[in-house]
Structure 1
Amino acid sequence: MGQEPSKPKPGTQLQVIGAGLPRTGTSSFSLALSILLDGPAYHGGTQATLGPPQEMRSWITLLQHWPAKTTSDAAIVNKILKERLDGYVGVTDCPCNGLVPELLELYPDAIVIATVRDPQAWINSMQTVSHAAKLWFLYIVLLPLPTMRHFTAYIEAMGKQWEELYGPQHIDIQHWHTHVAYLERVVPKEKLFWFDVRDGWGPLCEMLGKEVPDVPFPRVNDGKAIEELVRTMVVSGLTRWAGILGTVGAVGVGIWWARAGW
């Protein structure tokens, strides 16, 4: 997160499936892909929370039909993936880092690159983010906001996806290793790459067969971006509620005055 939502570029083919877990530098990775592949990259968290309501609603619908148990489920999953991702050079972050087999079926020429970091640092970061995303009052506060009113349903849908993939476990080292095992199981060895954004352009350019660009490697602080997003959305929600309650109060006073014969 931390950047503006990107827009699809017609005719652009998905080349990279970013399969790293959230909080592994996925925003920096997305920007790097956009530079190297000269096209927009789809960062799940940014697109869902800062894009139009249809973004978040569509992922909720997809996850309600995943894992596909019928041909109808599979058709819905594939349809939504193509609607959301056609026109992008790459996709990163949730929920697509857990939809790798489905994406490889749709985009067989794409490679899979999983961003990584120190597992313990990842655990600490994810536990903080997970706690913030599940605050009990968020649904009420965010209800007046067109996109974010769907946030709690979105988090619940992704929670079920994670349980399906990793089991009913807390965010811990086993979770990390289970994701690694998942990728090694579903991705052909020659298509699977691992990348630490701290290593900069060199390894990534080698994976993609690109020259190192004459610009600094993008660095986005996801933690600060998430904190800022939560703060902004909560303030926006409370402001909307103040306006709504103020209007209701004014109407109520008007009705009372009318009935009282003022």
Structure 2
Amino acid sequence: MKIILASFPKNGTKSMNEAFQTLGYNVYDWFEHFWYHGNDWAKILDEGGSIEDFRRMYEDIDVVTDTPACLFWQQILEAFPNAKVIISTRNEEKWFLSFQNQLNATSSSFKLNLIQSFSYSEILSCGSSKMLPWQKWDTSPTVMKNLYRQHNFYVTQKVPADQLLVFDLKDGWAPLCKFLCKEIPDKPFPFNNKSASLFSDAVSHHPVMRKMVKETIFIVGTLTVLGIYCGYKILKKF
């Protein structure tokens, strides 16, 4: 483990994910956490987890981003004390509105609801029900903004200064590459998921989400064939 992105979702986490990959890092984002470690996270959420659990889960991964890493960044840092911590921040009012927009877009997505209903993976059920505790507070802007502010402040106070980068995506590659001792790539800094398009984008190109789409197509197709067959057998009796 080399880097922990401690930022809450909607702080450019998808842009940071692409930036890390461009710099050559192996990244576990929201999808990877639940696809590869769904059972581990279910256990951690229900029973608790140890530093050894986090070390085992992420010893071969370069970077963790987004939920649930942002909620467990301190435990992950204890497991990998030499890791660097980055927190990307933005105006809290803009963050809140963007976060609300993402929640609304997610809950109203027909494709996502279909996949969640028929895919036998744990990624969506575990992720949506347990790993977004702030959904219980999404009607209170004051609580959400306080949570956001307290989280960011706590990170900046607890991480050693030489291991921490407070990053604004508008600053582009330079401060990030300087902090990570990397050459600046010959391409623009990425800006992804600006319109809460996370899941529609993922369905198109993310390998984990595409596996889930294939699961859904297989299950829906199988149920359709069985339904047609059963209907045929019933009609044949008449």
TM-score by length of 2: 0.76
Matches within 5 A, 1:117-128: 117-128=90-101
Q: CA deviation at 1:215?
A: 1.3
Q: Distance in 2 between matches of 1:139 and 1:222?
A: 19
**CA distance change for structure 1 residues 45 and 196 in 2, over 3 Å: closer, same or farther?**
same
The answer to whether the 8 A contact 2:38-2:126 is kept is no
**CA distance change for structure 1 residues 231 and 34 in 2, over 3 Å: closer, same or farther?**
closer
**CA distance change for structure 1 residues 163 and 186 in 2, over 3 Å: closer, same or farther?**
farther
Q: Does residue 218 of the first structure (1) align with residue 189 of the second (2)?
A: yes
**CA distance change for structure 1 residues 31 and 256 in 2, over 3 Å: closer, same or farther?**
closer
Aligned length: 228
Q: CA deviation at 1:169?
A: 5.4
SS of corresponding position for 2:8: coil
Question: 2:26 is matched with which residue?
Answer: 40
**Which amino acid in structure 1 is aligned with residue 26 of structure 2?**
P
- The worse-fitting range, judged by mean Cα deviation, of 56-65 and 99-108 is 56-65
Q: Distance in 2 between matches of 1:199 and 1:152?
A: 36
**Which amino acid in structure 1 is aligned with residue 168 of structure 2?**
D
Q: CA deviation at 1:15?
A: 1.4
Q: Does residue 133 of the first structure (1) align with residue 118 of the second (2)?
A: no
**Which amino acid in structure 2 is aligned with residue 243 of structure 1?**
G
Question: 1:145 is matched with which residue?
Answer: 119
What 5-or-longer segments of structure 2 have no aligned partner?
none
Q: Distance in 2 between matches of 1:217 and 1:190?
A: 27
**CA distance change for structure 1 residues 142 and 40 in 2, over 3 Å: closer, same or farther?**
same
Q: Does residue 25 of the first structure (1) align with residue 12 of the second (2)?
A: yes
What 5-or-longer segments of structure 1 have no aligned partner?
1-13
SS of corresponding position for 1:131: helix
Q: Does residue 114 of the first structure (1) align with residue 87 of the second (2)?
A: yes
**CA distance change for structure 1 residues 30 and 229 in 2, over 3 Å: closer, same or farther?**
closer
**CA distance change for structure 1 residues 63 and 182 in 2, over 3 Å: closer, same or farther?**
farther
**CA distance change for structure 1 residues 256 and 41 in 2, over 3 Å: closer, same or farther?**
closer
Q: CA deviation at 1:246?
A: 2.6
Select the residue among 63, 71, 91 that pairs with 1:90. Answer: 63
Matches within 5 A, 1:1-262: 14-36=1-23, 38-42=24-28, 44-48=29-33, 53-65=35-47, 68=48, 73-74=49-50, 78-79=52-53, 81-135=54-108, 142-147=116-121, 150-160=123-133, 162=134, 170=141, 172-208=144-180, 210-224=181-195, 225-229=197-201, 243-257=221-235, 259-260=237-238
Q: CA deviation at 1:176?
A: 1.8
**CA distance change for structure 1 residues 155 and 39 in 2, over 3 Å: closer, same or farther?**
same
Question: 1:7 is matched with which residue?
Answer: none
Q: Distance in 1 between matches of 2:104 and 2:144?
A: 14
TM-score by length of 1: 0.70
RMSD (CA atoms): 3.5
**Which amino acid in structure 2 is aligned with residue 61 of structure 1?**
K
- The worse-fitting range, judged by mean Cα deviation, of 199-208 and 224-233 is 224-233
Q: Distance in 1 between matches of 2:135 and 2:146?
A: 13
**Which amino acid in structure 2 is aligned with residue 17 of structure 1?**
I
**CA distance change for structure 1 residues 248 and 34 in 2, over 3 Å: closer, same or farther?**
closer
The percent of aligned pairs where both chains have the same amino acid is 22
Q: Distance in 1 between matches of 2:87 and 2:58?
A: 18
